[in-house]
């Protein structure tokens, strides 16, 4: 009995070891997001609550905690409440397979990339449920847009991942990182990295692809009828997904926890620090895109996904496979 209790305590500790930093990181990157927008637009951004405005995210979180949660009388109450919970939960459990070093990973499973792809694909259900259960036109239109958008760009991301798997011969994220010891995949697969980055923007509903919540057309899209902590759960899930996509990009293309150059003193920096720096770098690019690039029209969004990215990623799979086969570089499984 004592052994079972110890095992449970150990597993809970491991889960908190991953989740607590993710939740704290979400609060910090929201502040960073706002500061980057302000920098681009030549204004101050958050600078009042706490030193340099660092506690602004905490103040916003407290505001949501104390706000009244209003459920529309015509809404499907059970699904309406369940939608933000599903969105937040799926965004957090995805982090279970992200390796922060060769040993720092909650679940080092052999099909880690499939787990990531499967769980991130389920995220669309929370948005669809929230939009449909609201029983309102704008949320429903936002949910329909989101379903089409996220499914469309998941196809491109899936094909892009195939390029990486061809080079590695494994679905394990640790092995994908170790395969980049000599050269990061961003160099030979640079066009796929660019398409992955843009597809990640669309997958997480970030500008210029934030059509599901376009305030100029749909008030706030699928989130229109939400308030208080239920709105905060959507917000938390969205930023956790953004960080997850940055982590996926770092692991698949930027060498994960590996140091860029194996020289002293860079090789003394812990792998987790390198991964965090790479995630931060990609997030800064996410924020700069929001501040600089104007919003796409919906037909442009769909055309980009199906008529540009999908053919290009399929062509690159053929080129990658042909190159590896011709030079006898295909990995042995």
pLDDT digits over 6-65, tens only?
777 777 777 777 778 888 888 888 888 889 888 888 888 888 888 888 888 888 888 888
Please list, in sequence order, all residues whose beta carbon lies within 8 angstroms of the beta carbon of residue 122, skipping any fewer than 6 positions away.
90
Counting residues of the chain whose pLDDT is more than 70, the rounded percentage is 96
Best CA proximity match to 195, nearest among 251, 239, 249: 249
Q: Torsion over CA of 282, 173, 104 and 195, rounded to 10 degrees?
A: 0
Residue 6 and residue 2: Cα distance in Å, rounded?
6
Count CB-CB contacts under 10 A for residue 263: 8
Sign (positive/negative) of CA torsion 216, 91, 140, 66? negative
pTM of the predicted model, to two decimals? 0.90
pLDDT at position 249 is 92
Domain coordinates of the chain in residue numbers? 66-326
Q: What is the pLDDT of residue 198?
A: 92
Computed over every residue of the chain, the mean pLDDT equals 85
pLDDT of residue 2: 66
CA-closest candidate to residue 210, choices 289, 155, 157, 125:
289
Give the residue with greater pLDDT, 245 vs 146: 245
Residue 215 pLDDT exceeds 70: no
Q: What is the DSSP letter of 76?
A: -
Query: What average pLDDT does this structure show over 228-253?
Result: 88
The structure tokens listed for 320 are 């990658």
pLDDT, tens only, 171-214? 888 999 998 888 899 999 999 999 999 999 988 888 888 877 76
pLDDT of residue 44: 83
Q: How confident is the model at residue 248 (pLDDT cuts 50, 70, 90)?
A: very high
Is the confidence at residue 281, as pLDDT, over 90?
yes
């Amino acid at each position: 009995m004592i052994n079972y209790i110890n095992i449970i305590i150990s597993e809970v500790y491991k889960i908190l070891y991953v989740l607590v930093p993710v939740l704290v990181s979400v609060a910090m990157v929201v502040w960073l997001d706002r500061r980057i927008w302000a920098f681009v637009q030549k204004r101050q951004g958050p600078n009042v609550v706490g030193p340099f405005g660092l506690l602004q995210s905490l103040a916003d979180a407290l505001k949501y905690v104390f706000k009244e949660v209003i459920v529309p009388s015509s809404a499907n109450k059970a699904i309406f409440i369940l939608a933000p919970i599903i969105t937040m939960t799926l965004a957090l459990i995805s982090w279970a397979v992200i390796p922060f070093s060769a040993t720092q990973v909650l679940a080092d499973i052999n099909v880690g990339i499939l787990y990531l792809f499967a769980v991130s694909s389920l995220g669309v259900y929370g948005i669809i449920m929230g939009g449909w259960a609201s029983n309102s036109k704008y949320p429903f239109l936002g949910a329909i847009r989101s379903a089409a958008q996220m499914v469309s760009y998941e196809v491109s991301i899936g094909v892009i991942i195939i390029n990486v798997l061809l080079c590695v011969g494994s679905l394990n994220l640790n092995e994908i990182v170790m395969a980049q010891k000599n050269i990061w995949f961003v160099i030979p697969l640079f066009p796929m990295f660019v398409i992955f980055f843009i597809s990640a923007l669309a997958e997480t509903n970030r500008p210029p692809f934030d059509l599901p919540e376009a305030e100029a057309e749909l008030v706030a899209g699928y989130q229109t009828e939400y308030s208080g902590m239920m709105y905060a759960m959507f917000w938390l899930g969205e930023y956790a997904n953004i960080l997850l996509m940055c982590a996926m990009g770092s692991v698949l293309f930027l060498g994960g926890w590996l140091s860029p150059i194996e020289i002293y003193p860079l090789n003394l920096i812990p792998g987790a620090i390198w991964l965090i720096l790479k995630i931060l770098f990609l997030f800064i690019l996410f924020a700069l895109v929001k501040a600089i690039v104007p919003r796409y029209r919906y037909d442009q969004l769909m055309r980009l996904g199906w008529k540009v990215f999908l053919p290009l990623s399929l062509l690159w799979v053929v080129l990658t496979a042909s190159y590896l086969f011709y030079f006898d570089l295909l990995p042995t499984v």
